[in-house]
Structure 1
Amino acid sequence: MSDHKGTAPERLVSLPADPRPVPALVITQASPPGSVVLPRWARFLAAGTILILGWAAAVWTAIHVTADPVLHTVALFVHLAALVAGFGAVLAIDFFALLWLSGRRSFPDLIRVADGLHLLIWAGLVGLVLSGVLLHPDLSAPLTRVKIGLVLLIALNGLHLQAVQHRLEQSATTASRMLLARSVISNLLSQIGWWGAMGIGYLNSQN
């Protein structure tokens, strides 16, 4: 598939076809008899609500909890490690997306990489939030408020990206321009969120 020579517009409308056999990307398991399966939109709404409540709880805790110097140092190390893990995984997925758009990787390759790194991204984000609570952020500072807002943006956008990826997987060999546009916009928002939060964190560390 890496030798495919289609034009850029063609790639945006039709996903590259891989001549090699590819294992099924999505395995559907039968639900137990009598079980209630929520529609995808309801699960998406529930996950979004949980993310917002968790974010609000973290902000409230950061206001009312002050860590001692030793715990603060440990939290700072965890914060940096979580940043490397989460943001590194995001950059890896976006890099493979660029390789796919350039025809150097197949779409199934991209999906496999994304599936493998989603857990690392969420683990990094959770680590950032939990350790950030113990770093006693100055919520009276406008930049800190922006950073906290960017963290929520990253989380909700990540949820949306997973929904878009699922739709792309179901599209088999073709995808609508609207779906691809949603994917591009979500990836741009992800980059803005991660780079913005990291930049503000660096500026705050200099004060």
Structure 2
Amino acid sequence: MTDLLVERPVPVAGHDLEDVGAVGRRRVPSWAPLALVGSVILAAAPVVVWVCSVTHPLPVVHEVALFVHLASLLVGFGAVLTVDWVAALFILGRRTFHEMLRAADNAAVPVWAGYAGLVLSGLLLEPDLTSPVTIVKLVLVLVIGLNGVVALGLHRALGRGGADLRWMALGGMCATVSQLGWWGATVVGFLNAH
């Protein structure tokens, strides 16, 4: 996922990148990869709902999907909690700014792998799409994904600009949305299971 954050030269129309000199190169705007990921998440949302409505897996597949769902929750949410814990320690003066950024770097793959695992396994769990509580959970999952894209952008800005107070405040807001989303979706999942 962090590969998406690297600015790469884009060839001029009709030329391969290797054939174009430095003068002819254009850079991909730094926001473009983030916009792409956000667009994919938004475009996938109605597809996910549709697939959930037409999928009726065998009981054994449902059980495997439930295990993958819980494992993905542990991986994704666990990584989010770790990053937020290190950020809290930074605020308390117990970790450096660079340690906080490094924790976020290290957790990016588990966070996104957990998120993807939750969404994909959720397709096979036959959620009750007529239940308002389930709709709330699906909205929270969408918010978690879009907030994750914002978090990637904030991480980049903090890495470039250091501990700028504006970006730190936005990071705090992003972490709050993240915690509310993950905890909310977890509680709704627990309530739906009973």
User: TM exceeds 0.5?
Assistant: yes
Out of 188, 191, 194, which is 1:200 matched to?
188
Q: Which whole-Å CA distance do the structure 2 matches of 1:168 and 1:62 have between them?
A: 38
Q: Deviations over 1:38-95 (max 9, x none)?
A: 2122322222111111222111100111111000000000000000000000000000
- Identical-residue share of aligned pairs (%): 40
Out of 159, 162, 171, which is 2:161 matched to?
171
Out of 56, 71, 76, which is 1:66 matched to?
56
SS at match of 1:195: helix
Q: Which whole-Å CA distance do the structure 1 matches of 2:28 and 2:37 have between them?
A: 12
Answer 1 or 2: which has greater helix percent: 2
Aligned to 1:80: 70
Q: Report matched runs for 1:1-207 at 5 Å.
A: 31=9, 32-33=17-18, 34=20, 36-172=26-162, 174-175=163-164, 177-206=165-194
Q: Which whole-Å CA distance do the structure 2 matches of 1:110 and 1:51 have between them?
A: 26
Q: CA deviation at 1:113?
A: 1.1
Q: Which whole-Å CA distance do the structure 2 matches of 1:105 and 1:67 have between them?
A: 47
- Superposition RMSD in Å: 1.7
TM-score by length of 2: 0.86
Q: 2:7·2:29 contact (CA, 8 Å) conserved in 1? A: no
Q: Which whole-Å CA distance do the structure 2 matches of 1:162 and 1:107 have between them?
A: 16
Q: Using CA pairs below 8 Å that are at least 6 residues apart, which structure has the higher relative contact order?
A: 1
SS at match of 2:31: helix
Q: Which whole-Å CA distance do the structure 2 matches of 1:192 and 1:50 have between them?
A: 23
Q: Deviations over 1:135-169 (max 9, x none)?
A: 00001000000000000000000000110011011
- Residues 54 and 166 of structure 1, relative CA distance in 2, 3 Å threshold: same
TM-score by length of 1: 0.81
The number of aligned residues is 178
Q: Which whole-Å CA distance do the structure 2 matches of 1:44 and 1:29 have between them?
A: 11
What is the one-letter code of the residue matched to 2:136? V
